[in-house]
């Protein structure tokens, strides 16, 4: 099992760097956009596009 | 990752057992672990919106197919230029498939290590801004108590939900399993179909899109209308849509596609909402472990669903050479299964007090010693 980030109740809030957030979103967003593009392109044949 | 690497080695060395062991056994274990851990973590981060949280996580799981399918075709084409995915009948060489497995294994290693690096379980006293835990008590099926995994499987609620998931997944697999030949057979005119093979592949892609979208949209909706009502929609409306598919599905392509797409979105929604349903019934204490046990319904449906549809279709001929009417018996079996699931969902009531963890249990402490409770 995983362990809690902290068991202390007076823990100071931590802030995730903006760059890390942007990188994480890009890491999932770019492959997803690639998958969506390919799927929509293939599916468009269904409707004669 | 290990599964892909061992599977790749199996293909290179032409050892079929190594492929089964790597891709099947090791890969299957990794899939289960990778599926459950983020879900149970996200539920803890979003106690106010568990449906949204599980929908996001399980949408990612469903969305993987959207990415892996075109990427795999592209990679195999690079490794074996003689293989053209656009041409029906061409097959990639063994080395191209082994190279694909190796590449995917390495890509997944990078992605999953990054995920494992940034993932955090919230502190025990974590609350989102403005969230009042007392607000969840107002919903009758939502508990603020906790039930251990060992106790959960002794409750009728667990097995009713198992039945719900089993029926929902079996019905969804009924379409997914035969999607490409099915759309061609539904619009067959003698020997030829008005739907070409390439177009049928597009249909399969469209289904995966709706599968993914349903996981997010329907699961998020369940936060507002409740878990039991949303399953009444998945199973009840799904049942009606299956009847329509069997009766008027062959009248127009757009009708067939629309019905199948919504059915598949319910299939995805059923997957995505179930961890939030478990949290409502059993609390967050061991929801990951309970989810793992419940997913045996998925495994069972993965065996039974194809057995039913293939069994019925094989008795009619060969999929890809049938007509719409040949699918009706299989579709009506799915209707029956959805009816069983609908009734099972109706029977779900709050978990009896005798299964709750003792009030003195401190949840973070209990998490460190998860197996100590028993039914009293």
- Of A22 and A12, which is predicted with more confidence? A22
The pLDDT of B40-57, averaged and rounded, is 84
Give residue B164's domain range. Answer: 136-353
What percent of chain B shows pLDDT beyond 70?
91
* Interchain CB distance below 8 Å, B122 and A34: no
Whether residue B295 sits in one domain with residue B191:
yes
Q: How confident is the model at residue B84 (pLDDT cuts 50, 70, 90)?
A: confident
**Is B128 among the domain residues?**
no
For residue B337, the model assigns a pLDDT of 92
- Enumerate residues 3 to 32 of chain A having a beta carbon within 8 A of any beta carbon in chain B: 3-9, 11, 20, 24, 27-28, 31-32
Q: How far is A35 from chain B (nearest CA, A)?
A: 4
* Interchain CB distance below 8 Å, B121 and A35: no
HSE value, Cβ hemisphere, 13 Å, CA-based, for B60: 19
Q: How many domains is chain B partitioned into structurally?
A: 2
**Is B64 among the domain residues?**
yes
Whether residue B183 sits in one domain with residue B117:
no
For residue B374, the model assigns a pLDDT of 34
- Say yes or no: ipTM exceeds 0.85: no
**Is B359 among the domain residues?**
no
On the 0-12 / 13-18 / 19+ scale of CB atoms within 10 A, B12 is middle
Contact B209, B193 (CB under 8 A): no
What's the pLDDT tens digit per position in A23-38? 988 988 999 899 889 8
Residue A14 CA to residue B10 CA, distance in Å, equals: 46
B150, B201, B298 from B141: Cα distances, Å: 20, 42, 23
Interface of B to A at Cβ within 8 Å reads 37, 41, 60, 63, 66-71, 111, 114, 118, 120-125, 195-196, 198-199, 201-203, 205-206, 208-209, 253-254, 257, 364, 367-368, 370
Q: How confident is the model at residue B140 (pLDDT cuts 50, 70, 90)?
A: low
For residue B371, the model assigns a pLDDT of 36
For residue A4, the model assigns a pLDDT of 45
* Interchain CB distance below 8 Å, B71 and A34: yes
User: Which of these, B31, B34, B25, lies nearest to B116 by C-alpha position?
Assistant: B34
Q: How confident is the model at residue B236 (pLDDT cuts 50, 70, 90)?
A: very high
The domain boundary residue, chosen from B121, B147, B163: B121
């Amino acid at each position: 099992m995983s362990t809690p980030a902290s068991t202390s109740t007076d823990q100071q809030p931590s802030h995730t760097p903006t760059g890390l957030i942007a990188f994480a979103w890009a890491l999932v967003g770019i492959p997803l956009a690639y998958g969506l593009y390919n799927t929509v392109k293939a599916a468009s044949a269904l409707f004669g596009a | 990752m290990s599964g892909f690497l061992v599977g790749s080695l199996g293909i290179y060395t032409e050892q079929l057992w190594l492929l089964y062991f790597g891709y099947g056994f090791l890969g299957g274990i990794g899939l289960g672990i990778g599926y459950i851990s983020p879900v149970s973590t996200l539920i803890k981060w979003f106690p106010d919106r568990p449906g949204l949280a599980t929908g996001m996580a399980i949408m990612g799981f469903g969305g993987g197919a959207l990415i892996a399918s075109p990427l795999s075709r592209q990679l195999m084409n690079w490794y074996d230029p003689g293989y053209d995915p656009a041409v029906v009948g061409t097959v990639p060489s063994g080395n191209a498939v082994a190279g694909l497995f190796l590449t995917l294994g390495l890509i997944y290693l990078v992605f999953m290590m990054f995920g494992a690096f940034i993932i955090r379980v919230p502190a025990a006293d974590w609350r989102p801004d403005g969230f009042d835990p007392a607000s969840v008590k107002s919903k009758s099926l939502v508990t603020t108590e906790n039930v251990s995994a060992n106790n959960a499987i002794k409750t009728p609620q667990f097995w009713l939900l198992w039945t719900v998931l089993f029926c929902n997944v079996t019905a969804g697999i009924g379409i997914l399993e035969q999607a490409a030949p099915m759309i061609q057979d539904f619009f067959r005119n003698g020997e030829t179909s008005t739907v070409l093979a390439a177009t049928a592949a597009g249909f399969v892609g469209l289904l995966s899109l709706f599968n993914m979208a349903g996981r997010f949209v329907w699961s998020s909706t369940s936060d507002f209308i409740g878990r039991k009502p949303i399953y009444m929609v998945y199973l009840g409306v799904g049942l009606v849509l299956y009847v329509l598919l069997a009766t008027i599905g062959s009248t127009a392509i757009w009708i067939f596609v629309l019905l199948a797409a919504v059915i598949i979105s319910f299939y995805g929604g059923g997957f995505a909402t179930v961890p939030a349903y478990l949290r409502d019934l059993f609390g967050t204490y061991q929801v990951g472990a309970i989810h793992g046990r419940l997913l045996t319904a998925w495994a069972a449906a993965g065996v039974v669903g194809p057995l039913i549809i293939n069994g019925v279709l094989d008795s009619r001929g060969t999929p890809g050479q049938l007509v719409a009417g040949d699918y009706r018996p299989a579709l009506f079996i799915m209707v029956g299964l959805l009816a069983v699931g609908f009734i099972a969902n109706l029977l779900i009531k709050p978990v009896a007090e005798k299964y709750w963890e003792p009030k003195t249990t401190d949840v973070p402490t209990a998490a460190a010693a998860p197996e100590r409770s028993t039914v009293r």
